[in-house]
Amino acid sequence: MFSKLVQLSTLISVVNGAIVLDVDHNTKIIRKDIIEAVNSRSTTWKAGVNKRFENATVADVKILLGTVLPGEPTYIPPEFERQVFKDGAIPTSFDVRTAWPSCSSISGHVRDQSSCGSCWAFGSTEAFNDRYCISTGDNQRLMSPEDTNDCCSGSVCSGSKGCNGGQPSGAWNWFTKVGVSTGGDYDDIGTGTTCKPYSMMSCAHHVTPPPGMVSCDTLPEYKTPKCTSTCSESGYKVAYSSDKHFAKNSYSIKGVSNIQQEIMEHGTISVSMQVYEDFESYTSGVYQHVTGSYLGGHAIKMIGWGVENGTPYWLCVNSWNTSWGEQGTFKILRGSNECGIESAAVAGQV
C-alpha cells in the first residue's frame, strides 16, 4: 500500500488548489475533439484556435486559474451584501463602455496576467479602475494589478496568495483599508507614467511568440513578486504612500436583476466562474459549457449584458490579452448561473 501511495504522489501536484496530473503537462488544451464537439452541436457559440493557447497544455492553463470559488474549503464569504437598489427599468442591453464613453479607454482595456494565477487581482483591480474613472472622470490613470497581486494578503485580503490564488472580494476589502497604487501594463515599464506597472510579460505557450510576446517557458511561473512599499518606477514622481487609491466600501451582489442594477448605477463589477477545457477554445457567441473537464476558478470583470440570436448573455472582459476570444472579451449565458458566473459578484463604491 505504501509503495502505491508513493507512486501516486509522483503523478500529481497542486497549483492554485487544483490537482495537476503528470498527463496535464502533455495534454493540449486546444484540441480538435473539443472544437468539433462544440461546433457540431446546436449550441450558442463557436470554438476555434486562440493564439493565446495555441499549443498550451492543460497544466499551463491551470496555472492561470487562481480564484477561490464559493463552496471551496478556503473560500471566505464577503462580509456585506448590497440589497437595496434604485428602482428603474432594466434595458435589454447595457455596456459600461458606451454608458460612460469618456471612460471607454479604461473599461475597454484588455490586460494580460501572463503566466501567473493573478486573475483574482486583475478581475478586482480592473473593476476598481473602471469605477474610479466613472466616479472621478480620470480616464488616464491605470491601477496596478501588480500592487494587488503582490501586497494584498492575510485576513484583510481573504487569505489571498498572489500568483497562487486569491479572492476578488478580499481585494475589494483591501481597496477600502489599504488602497491600490497606479500601475500600467508590462509595456509601460520604464515610462515613469505609473507607480507599479505589471512586471510579467505577455507570453505564448510552446510556440514562436508573436511580436510583443515571449515564450511562457522563459518566465518564472508560480512565483509572486515581492511586495514593496516603494514604486518600481524611478521616473514616477509620486511617492507610493501618496499614490494609493481607495474604495469607500465593498460588498457582494446576488441575483440577476441586482447585478444589472449595480452595473447600471456604478459600472463594472468583479465576477468569478468555473473554467472547463472548452472555454479556452471560445472564439465567438454566447459561451455555455459543452464538453471537457473542470480546470479551476477564474476571475474577470463584467461590463454589461445583452441578447444574441435570442440568447441572453453577460458581457465580460478577460485578462488573457486580445489574442483570446472576441478580442479579449466574451459573452456567457445569463440567467442560469452558468459556470457559477452569478454566484460570486462583488464590487464597491469608489
Distance (Å, whole) CA 254 – CA 268: 15
Distance (Å, whole) CA 192 – CA 237: 8
Q: Which residues of 200-234 are buried (b: 16+ CB within 10 A; e: fewer)?
A: bbbbbbeeebeeebeebeeeebeebbeeeeebbbe
All cell numbers assigned to 122: 486583475
* Candidate list 119, 152, 195, 339, residue with the active-site label: 119
Distance (Å, whole) CA 329 – CA 139: 20
DSSP state of 190: T
Locate cell 470583470: which residue? 301
Backbone angles phi, psi at 132, to 5 degrees: -65, -45
Distance (Å, whole) CA 298 – CA 147: 19
298 is catalytic: yes
* Candidate list 298, 316, 321, 339, residue with the active-site label: 298
Backbone angles phi, psi at 268, to 5 degrees: -50, 145
318 is catalytic: yes
Angle at the Cα of 187 from the Cα atoms of 185 and 189, rounded to 5 degrees: 85
Locate cell 452595473: which residue? 263
Over its C-alpha atoms, the chain yields an Rg (Å, rounded) of 19
* Candidate list 163, 318, 321, 339, residue with the active-site label: 318
Backbone angles phi, psi at 142, to 5 degrees: -95, 135
Closest-CA residue to 107 (of 76, 84, 81, 131): 131
Backbone angles phi, psi at 60, to 5 degrees: -60, -40
Active site residues: 119, 298, 318
